Amino acid sequence: MAEIKSLKNPLAERQLTLFRAIIAGLGVVILSLVLVGRLVQLQLLDHDVYATRSDDNRMRVRIIAPARGLIYDRNGIVLAENLPTYQLEIVPEQVEDVADTVTALAELIDIPDRDRERFYRRVDQEPSFRSIPLRTRLTPEEVAAFEVNRQDFKGVEIHAALTRRYPLGRLAAHAVGYVGSLSEADAAGLDPRRYRGTQRIGKVGVEAAHESLLHGEPGSKIIEANAQGRTLRDLEYQGPVAGENLYLTLDSRIQEAAVTALGQHDGAVVAIDPTNGDILALVSQPSFDPHLFVDGIDYVTYAGLNADPGRPLFNRALQGQYPPGSTVKPVMALAGLDAGVVTPRHREMCIGYFMLPDNERRYRDWKRRGHGLVDMHDAIAQSCDVYFYQLALDIGIDHIHDFLSQFGLGQILGVDLPGEKPGLLPSRDWKRNARNEAWYPGETLNIGIGQGFMTATPLQLAHMTAMVAVRGHGYRPRILAARQEPGTRDLIHFEPTPVEPVNVADSGYWDRIAESMEAVVHSVQGTATRSGAGASYRIAGKSGTAQVTGLSQEDEEAPDLLDVPRELRDHALFIAYAPADAPKIAVAVIAEHAGSGGRVAGPIARAVMDALLEPES
Amino acid sequence: MSSQRPGQSGFQRLLLNLHIDAMLLTLILIVLGLGLFVLYSASGESSAAVTSQVKRIGLGLVVMMALAQVNPDTFRAFAPWLYALGLCLLVLVLLLGDTAKGAQRWLDLGVIRFQPSELMKLAVPMVLAGFMHSRTLPPKLRTMGAGALMIAVPAALIMRQPDLGTALMIAISGAFVLYMAGLRWRVILGLVLAAAAALPLLWSQMHDYQRERVLTFLNPARDPGGAGYHITQSKVAIGSGGLFGKGWLNGTQAQLDFLPESATDFIFAVYAEEVGLLGVLFLLVLYLAIIGRGLFISVKGQDSFQRLLAGSLSLVFFFYVFVNIGMVIGLLPVVGVPLPLISWGGTSMVSLLAGMGVLMSIHTHRRLLSS
């Protein structure tokens, strides 16, 4: 720019401004092009990116949880269902004063402090247009009380939600199980896509075992929402697929009969159809109310259940590992026959105790004066311990282990229920591995009468009984019989799974055992003759009275039942199947600390069998 | 465009007698009309917002027409008084102004509430242009210094309110006068360098929220939920508009409230989302035509005062456009500058139309002067 020295020079000044204006105009054009360039980048080049982000902004996917499949027993009686329950909800932005509204509602409907706290916490946290539940599980009376006054409560509404209900309640709590809040630990093992929107998951029993069938497939709804999250309209809807309905092998009549028969005893009852492994009843007492868990159990109640000495949450049927006692004697006898160490006619002299050579220790018989000269039939019918001491000794521990394990003892049976325990069927190898000790002959004697190291679960005893009932050609126990195809509603039955059959040297041996077990119930000398009285069908059974603690074998006198503390008293056991000639049911009963198996557990087993075989009585 | 050419129509003569520049008025009315449509959409289809905007536009047009009747010489004569009045009012605002959104900008005159800083948007370029008019151009350094002081005093007062955006606009309007007056390039370069050097000083004078805006501009990911949210959502709105836009009233970003300040400073994003790049280019062309017309008027100005004032007013108008759009598309930090003639809001609408009135005055009084 040339320096202009003169005073006012209108022409030069005019030219100067013109020049400046042109430069400015150029600047305007260049800067505008910068804007245009940026706009081209945003609106053309990166358009897809921003279009996606714009859609992400406005579109929300709402997951619709599927309705859980129902659970029926074998006769179509509902064991688990989804009932609509009613809850009182408030939309904070639609009421004038939330606290006043709650106070007014409390005059119509009881609103515990715990519910109020939870409600106010959510009011503080969530957008004010959300409907927030104040009270859940309204009774019909409460619903009516509100409905009559609803015109006074704008912004307050009653909503229906599906809640799991168990019509049998505590009667079948261990078998059917329950659903509870989906925890983070639960979620870790699940397909997150299927469980978006799911809040409850099966925790125990069938509910847990068949979670994947019961759950169903979630649906989804794509909605348009504004920046505050308020739903404006639905854009897309895909309905959920409800979970499959399940039909269990369980028979609720038998289940109820078992619970009733067990009465006040703690213990377990398992009934199996030996012809296919169907579990007809699975009872563990004491039980609990499964509904406690459905809405989310509070800490105090849960701690109380856990601290209860009766351990109501413990599923004795699958997890209780008890000494089987004399209930193993029929299978033990079969092992002896199969091994050829005895014949059915072989006799032993029972003088009330047994002694090993070169040992002073007396292994006592439950009958202090002894059974006298007994053959195998008498030994089973009268449950002579001495006979089985000698027999076990003759068979040998390793062979006992191998033979009895064919009946499912000492191992997981693979029932379709969670938490099954294996029990313990000891052997020389086991003791060496587990305890690093040698096996002593005296320990074999105890195994002969189902004591010592040996333990079994009620499920295992029922399975063992079923195996005997069908002459070794049994099935794996199962609780799921069929599922219902969601679309066609056709029932799809599951085939029973046979277990490895037990073959013995002479199939007649099975008959020997069966006859002796019938004698337990139906002969005059049998240990459980009262259990068979008046039955219209023949029962084959075996009692067991299992020592809880190792009462000294040297005691001359068996202590009187009522003189010992309850927790030291014997467990009463009974196994049975019926009808003896064409078995339809095999039962195992354990009544904890109830004393004599024949007198206490036998009648319980009878009642269970009656429920199937004499339902009208 | 000679207005003395024989054979002009009666309509053209009427416009001249009314001191209206037909081209400028047409362009302004198109932009204003467009703006009302955008505002209706951006305000969530609020006819109340549109009605109040129409009232403001009416007031602005009246002011524009009124100023257009005034002879530029009168502006020059009264500029110092206007400037002095503006300074007094600014001081008054600082002493007893109303507080809105944490800043003292308003003076309650009983009848209307009024931002004196808007008065300065006209008074500063006028008084500077008048000052330069009486000096030799290009101005000497001492003249420049005096001019700079005339800018700095009101700018500093407005910054105290605090209103950084307006202070900047007023400083720029003065700077444009100096530029048009022939401020030497090496001085401009020196000033730019000095300004760059003074940035840390400016930084230390800034309020926290202003620093926050700058930091967020430099890195929007820094605060995506807060200050960065504006710019992110604005870019999403504009980018998702694409070439043709989502259609009027169908911009989801604006309609579903994802875009804050959608009717005021960020209204351009609503427009860009709904009409796309083509619509945006159309608006830019309209703006450039207005600015081009203003620069033409400046060049045709009959004395330095007219040329400098018209040049400054035109460039300030562009500066508004550039800063607002630059901010909304993420090229510049967020400064509270409205989109000229479109953003919802009163005072800037009136002061911008007033500037247009001054441009018309300059252009339509030429004949009288030269005759």
> Tens digit of pLDDT per residue, chain B (371 long)?
444 455 567 887 888 888 889 999 999 999 999 999 999 998 888 889 899 999 999 999 999 999 999 999 999 999 999 999 999 988 888 887 666 555 566 666 555 566 788 889 899 999 999 999 888 778 888 888 898 899 999 999 888 877 777 888 889 999 999 999 888 888 888 888 887 887 787 777 777 777 777 777 666 666 655 657 788 888 999 999 999 999 888 888 888 878 888 888 889 999 999 999 999 999 999 999 999 999 999 999 989 999 999 999 999 999 999 999 998 998 888 777 889 999 987 678 888 999 999 999 999 887 544 43
B302 contacts on A by Cβ (under 8 Å)? none
Within A150-251, residue ranges assigned H as helices are 173-176, 184-188, 205-209, 211-215
Backbone dihedral angles phi then psi of residue A615, each to the nearest 5 degrees: -60, -30
Mean pLDDT score of chain A: 88
Residue A548: pLDDT over 90: no
Distance from CA of B245 to the nearest CA of A (A): 9
Question: Using one digit for the tens of pLDDT, what is the confidence trace for A228-278?
Answer: 777 777 888 888 888 999 999 999 999 999 999 999 999 999 999 999 999
- Interface touch A39/B136, C-beta < 8 Å: no
pLDDT at position A95 is 86
- Interface touch A29/B136, C-beta < 8 Å: no
List of long-range contacts for A58-61, beta carbons under 8 Å, 24+ apart: A58/A224, A58/A225, A58/A226, A58/B252, A58/B253, A58/B256, A58/B258, A59/A222, A59/A223, A59/A224, A59/A225, A59/A235, A60/A222, A60/A223, A60/A224, A60/A225, A60/A229, A60/A231, A61/A220, A61/A221, A61/A222, A61/A223
A29 contacts on B by Cβ (under 8 Å)? 288
CA distance A310 to A304: 11
Question: Using one digit for the tens of pLDDT, what is the confidence trace for A76-135?
Answer: 999 999 988 888 888 888 888 888 999 999 998 988 887 888 888 888 877 787 788 888
B329 contacts on A by Cβ (under 8 Å)? 35, 38-39, 42
Calculated CA dihedral for residues A547, A549, A551, A552, nearest 10 degrees: 130
pLDDT at position B220 is 62
How many CB atoms sit inside 10 A of residue A531's CB? 28
Q: Which among A1, A36, A46 has CB closest to B281?
A: A36
Q: Which among B137, B179, B253 has CB closest to A54?
A: B253
**3-class secondary-structure state, position B32:** helix
CA distance B157 to B161: 7
Non-local (6+) Cβ contacts of A233 within 8 A are: A223, A224
**Structure token digits, residue B16:** 């001249």
As a whole number, mean pLDDT of residues A387-407 equals 94
Angle, alpha carbons A420-A421-A423 (nearest 5°): 145
A10 contacts on B by Cβ (under 8 Å)? 303
Q: Which among A7, A14, A58 has CB closest to B252?
A: A58
**3-class secondary-structure state, position A80:** strand
Residue B38: name the closest of B327, B317, B273, B278 by CA: B273
Residue A3: pLDDT over 50: no
Report DSSP letters for A318-360, one per residue. HH--B--GGGGHHHHHHHHHHHTS--TT-EEEE-SEEE-TT--
- Interface touch A47/B238, C-beta < 8 Å: no
Strands A156-165, A132-135: pairing kind: unpaired
Distance from CA of B104 to the nearest CA of A (A): 31
Within A540-601, residue ranges assigned H as helices are none
Q: Mean pLDDT check: name the lowest of A286-295, A440-449, B359-368.
A: B359-368
**3-class secondary-structure state, position A102:** helix
DSSP state of A198: -
B280 contacts on A by Cβ (under 8 Å)? 39, 43
Model confidence band, residue A457 (pLDDT cutoffs 50, 70, 90):
very high
CA distance B38 to B249: 8
Strands, DSSP E only, in chain B? 98-100, 103-108, 113-114
Interface ipTM: 0.90
Q: Nearest residue on chain B to A230, judged by CA atoms?
A: B256
Backbone dihedral angles phi then psi of residue A223, each to the nearest 5 degrees: -120, 160
Dihedral sign from CA coordinates of A81, A87, A91, A94 = positive
| Helix, strand, coil percentages in chain B from 3-state DSSP, rounded to 5 | 70, 5, 25
DSSP state of B109: -
- Interface touch B252/A57, C-beta < 8 Å: yes
- Interface touch B257/A228, C-beta < 8 Å: yes
pLDDT at position B3 is 47
Q: Which among B176, B182, B239 has CB closest to A43?
A: B239
Non-local (6+) Cβ contacts of B120 within 8 A are: B83, B86, B90, B154, B158, B170
pLDDT at position B6 is 52
Q: Nearest residue on chain B to A32, judged by CA atoms?
A: B322
Is A531 one of the annotated active-site residues of the chain? Answer: no
How many CB atoms sit inside 10 A of residue B209's CB? 12
CA distance B167 to A62: 49
B299 contacts on A by Cβ (under 8 Å)? 17-18, 21
B277 contacts on A by Cβ (under 8 Å)? 39-40, 43-44
Query: Is A464 or A361 the better-scoring residue by pLDDT?
Result: A464
Non-local (6+) Cβ contacts of B271 within 8 A are: B38, B42, B279, B280, B283, B342
pLDDT at position A6 is 45
Distance from CA of B114 to the nearest CA of A (A): 31
A40 contacts on B by Cβ (under 8 Å)? 277
Of A64-68, A133-137, A426-430, the range with the highest mean pLDDT is A426-430
- Interface touch A31/B311, C-beta < 8 Å: no
CA distance B28 to B61: 10
- Interface touch B242/A6, C-beta < 8 Å: no
- Interface touch B295/A21, C-beta < 8 Å: yes
Model confidence band, residue A285 (pLDDT cutoffs 50, 70, 90):
very high
pLDDT at position A13 is 84
pLDDT at position A560 is 53
Residue B263: name the closest of B280, B247, B251 by CA: B251
pLDDT at position A568 is 78
Task: Tell me the pTM.
Answer: 0.69
pLDDT at position B311 is 95
Q: Which of A252, A284, A287, A326 is catalytic?
A: A326
Residue A17: name the closest of B31, B308, B79, B227 by CA: B308
Q: Which among B258, B299, B322 has CB closest to A17?
A: B299
Q: Nearest residue on chain B to A16, judged by CA atoms?
A: B182
CA distance B161 to B6: 53
Q: Mean pLDDT check: name the lowest of A13-17, A610-614, B124-128, B225-229.
A: B225-229
Model confidence band, residue A617 (pLDDT cutoffs 50, 70, 90):
low
- Interface touch A50/B236, C-beta < 8 Å: yes
Residue A551: pLDDT over 60: no
B322 residue type, one letter: F
Residue B120: name the closest of B177, B92, B158, B148 by CA: B158
- Interface touch A228/B252, C-beta < 8 Å: no
Q: Which among B184, B298, B329 has CB closest to A39?
A: B329
Q: Nearest residue on chain B to A13, judged by CA atoms?
A: B137
Distance from CA of A15 to the nearest CA of B (A): 9
Q: Mean pLDDT check: name the lowest of A136-145, A569-578, B194-203.
A: B194-203
Buried b vs exposed e over A214-224: b needs ≥16 C-beta within 10 Å? bbbebbbbebb
Distance from CA of A17 to the nearest CA of B (A): 6
- Interface touch A6/B136, C-beta < 8 Å: yes
